[in-house]
Structures are given as C-alpha cells and as structure tokens.
C-alpha cells in the first residue's frame, strides 16, 4: 500500500517568494539579506534562465548582479509555488525526493546589512520613499557619525510603523517569508552553512543524475563590516526585542560570540568607499529617472502610431484614410526588428486575406513568413493561428 507523502504546506497559501525547479525537484524559499542574490543566481543558472533580461532592468540597481531582484516577470523558466496547480503542489514533498530549502541569518548582522545597503548607501528605491525621514543617515564622513546615525535608526524602530518600511522584506522578521511552521522543509540552513548547503545540493542532484557545477557568485554591497560598537548602547537589546519571533524560531543557531566583527573599526578609506557608494547611487537614480521617462515617451509614441491604422467594418484597413497595400516580403534583417512591427504587418495581411481579390497575394506572403525559421521567436501564438486560418481560407 502506497503511503501519502507529507504535504509541502501546512494550512498556508503557497508563498510567492519561492523558486521551483520541477526538473531538478528543488524549491528555494527566498529571504532577503541572507545570501539571496547568490542563491537566486544559482537557481537561475540551474533553471536555464536567460541572464540578459536581468541585466536590462532600469530599476536603479547598482550592479548587474543586483538586477536579479528587478522583478519576477524576468524569470521565464522558474515558476513560483503559487503558480502551480493543486495537483502539482501535491507532488512536492521531501517524501517524494524533493529538496526544499531556505537560508536564515542572525538578526544583528542582517539588520545592519539592510540599513547599510538600503539607507546609509542611499539605494535609489529607498531614497524615493524615505529621503525626508528624520532617521535617514547622513552621507558617511566618519566612523563616529555612522555609529550615531545607526543608533538613531535602531532606537526609532521605523520598521514597526512607517508605511512601506513596515512591510519591506529587508526589515521584516524572517519567520514571515520563511514560514517555518507552514512549510515542510528538507532543511533550513544558517548563513554560515552555505558550504554545507552547496554540498547537499550536489548530493541531491547526483541522485537524479543531474549534478553540475553550481553558479556561485559573491555579491557584497556593504563596504562597512559590523563592529562590536554597532551593538553597544542598548542596540543589541532593541534588536532582540524587535526580532523576538526570529530568535524564538531559530535562536539556538546564533550567538554574539560567533558574529564576524571587524576588529578595529573602520579605516578612513572604508568610510570614503561608503561615501562613494552614495554618490554612485545618486547618479544611478538620475539615469533611472531618465530611462523611465524615455520608456514612457516610447510607449506613448507607439500608441499614437497604432491609432493611425483604422480597421473598417468590412475588415479592410486604412491609414489616414488611404487603403493599406500588402507588406512586401520580409528581408533577412527583419528578424531583428521589434515584435510590434512584425505583428502589425501580419495583422494587416490577415485583414487583406479576407478580401477575395487580394487573397492570392496575401496567401503568398503568409506562406513565406511561415517558412521563416525565427518566426516563433518573434510572433505571438495568437497571430500565428490567425495567419494559418487566413491561409486555409485562401485555398
């Protein structure tokens, strides 16, 4: 008698911060500021994702590596758990040979890292939202100033009640995204156990005959390492109170004595390096604003261009009142043209094919396109179906 596998989810909805690799029987539950960038790149490589879309974002990320966080719509081969059907979810279980994992980090260094990378270094998105807040740190000029601004932020505890920040994954307790009581994991790893995690992934993939070299990148966006002084003057106690849920769930993994601290504070070069990041992020913000403006203008121009073509009641199309001639056969360079132009040409061809006198010419054009080897990479399926239907009507 076959036993029923332990369900993946214990009475919770499927989380969106998940990355599913069906062919590798793996699920990664993402946690920000806990090797998230490194693990996302590893998963993207295993899934066979195209890296170029991650590089092409204009969300204000400081490096190419951070583009991996710029929107889940860029992931084409890695579904989320909430994208799956109930039948597919029912098959995901450690009992069925799935490897389901997450990574957590001690709240001391995690909060420091989040504050430094998002606020001290003036991340573009965070400056958009919080540049007028009294707890926003100044541009670093000295170690003493950095410590002063850090303590002011921790004592204010804005992640508790400031709109937006209170829901931001970088500052929320990790039990919210990880849901340790709601998901049946193979294992939840501590950040210090990444080498163990990678070895376990190799073992898992080896059992499936899919072992390969893992794509592991280091993405450190915090030039100022945490020092012992960071946790002085009541800061440690505030963090332990604010993240009590994390300590209750994972506290036996963390010890102040095991934290990796910079031994002698920060050099003037380190402070200057941090200050340079703020200037670089400011410039990135300028470029992002300009890129987004140009994108809006381009979309508006496309809408105006599309409005110039009018479809009559009989299916014929005109542009500014003049009948449209059928498009000429595509040259070889057309494969590099934007999809919208190709789609427009095909739509016109389909409309022409509805007129009896022009069917032969339209049919010839359609047949030529269907032999185009890159057709499926450029033309949406819906348009291809209309093309084939128009061709059949012409016989």
Q: How high is the pLDDT of residue 384?
A: 53
Which pLDDT score, from 0 to 100, does residue 264 have?
83
Going by C-alpha positions, the residue among 199, 252, 218 that lies closest to residue 37 is: 218
C-alpha torsion 115→116→119→123, nearest 10: -120
56 confidence band (pLDDT: 50, 70, 90): confident
pLDDT of residue 317: 57
Strand order in the sheet with 317-319: 309-311, 317-319, 322-323
**Which region among 43-52, 177-186, 288-297, 351-360 has the lowest average model confidence (pLDDT)?**
351-360
How far is it, in rounded angstroms, from Cα 150 to Cα 236?
12
Average pLDDT over residues 62-78: 90
Instruction: Give the SS3 label for residue 92.
Output: coil
- pLDDT at res. 144: 96
- Please give the pLDDT value at position 151: 98
- Is the per-residue pLDDT at 335 higher than 50? no
More confident position, 65 or 309: 65
Report the alpha-carbon distance of residue 137 to residue 278 in Å, rounded.
Answer: 11
Domain ranges of the chain: 1-105+174-219, 106-172+225-307, 311-393
Give the pLDDT band of residue 99 (cuts 50, 70, 90): very high
Q: What band does 71 get if pLDDT is binned at 50, 70 and 90? A: confident
Predicted confidence at residue 10, as pLDDT, reads 93
Q: Residues 131-136: what's their mean pLDDT?
A: 96
Predicted confidence (pLDDT) at residue 328 exceeds the cutoff of 70? no
Residue 202: the pLDDT is 98
More confident residue, 307 or 379: 307
Inter-helix orientation angle 235-242/143-156, to 10°: 40
């Amino acid at each position: 008698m076959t036993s029923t596998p332990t369900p993946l989810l214990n009475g919770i909805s499927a989380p969106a911060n998940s990355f599913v690799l069906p062919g590798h029987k793996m699920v990664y539950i993402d946690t920000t500021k806990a090797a998230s960038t490194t693990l996302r790149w590893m998963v993207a490589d295993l899934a066979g994702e195209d890296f170029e879309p991650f590089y092409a974002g204009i969300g204000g990320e400081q490096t190419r590596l951070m583009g991996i966080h710029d929107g889940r719509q860029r992931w084409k081969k890695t579904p989320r758990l909430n994208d799956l059907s109930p039948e597919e979810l029912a098959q995901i279980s450690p009992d069925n040979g799935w490897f389901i994992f997450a990574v957590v980090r001690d709240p001391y260094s995690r909060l420091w890292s989040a504050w430094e990378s998002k606020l001290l270094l003036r991340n573009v998105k965070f400056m958009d939202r919080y540049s007028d807040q009294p707890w926003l740190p100044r541009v670093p000029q000295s170690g003493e100033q950095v410590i002063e601004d850090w303590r002011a932020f921790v004592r204010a505890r804005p992640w508790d009640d400031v709109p937006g920040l209170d829901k931001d994954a970088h500052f929320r307790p990790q039990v919210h995204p990880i849901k340790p009581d709601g998901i049946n994991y193979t294992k939840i790893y501590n950040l210090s156990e990444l080498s163990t995690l990678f070895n376990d992934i190799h073992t898992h993939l080896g059992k499936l005959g899919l072992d390969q070299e893992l794509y592991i990148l280091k993405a450190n966006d915090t030039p100022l390492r945490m020092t012992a002084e960071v946790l002085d003057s009541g800061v440690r106690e505030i963090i332990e109170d604010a993240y009590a849920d994390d300590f209750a769930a994972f506290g036996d993994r963390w010890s102040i004595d095991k934290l990796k601290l910079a031994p002698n504070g920060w050099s003037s070069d380190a402070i200057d390096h941090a200050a340079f990041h703020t200037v670089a992020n400011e410039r990135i913000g300028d470029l992002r604003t300009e890129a987004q403006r140009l994108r809006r203008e381009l979309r508006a121009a496309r809408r105006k261009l599309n409005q110039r073509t009018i479809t009559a009641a009989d299916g014929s199309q005109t542009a500014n009142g003049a009948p449209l001639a059928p498009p000429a056969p595509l040259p070889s360079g057309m494969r590099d043209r934007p999809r919208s132009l190709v789609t427009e040409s095909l739509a016109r061809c389909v409309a022409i094919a509805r007129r009896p006198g022009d069917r032969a010419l339209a049919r010839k054009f359609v047949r030529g396109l269907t032999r185009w080897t890159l057709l499926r990479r450029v033309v949406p399926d819906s348009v291809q179906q209309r093309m084939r239907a128009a061709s059949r009507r012409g016989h």
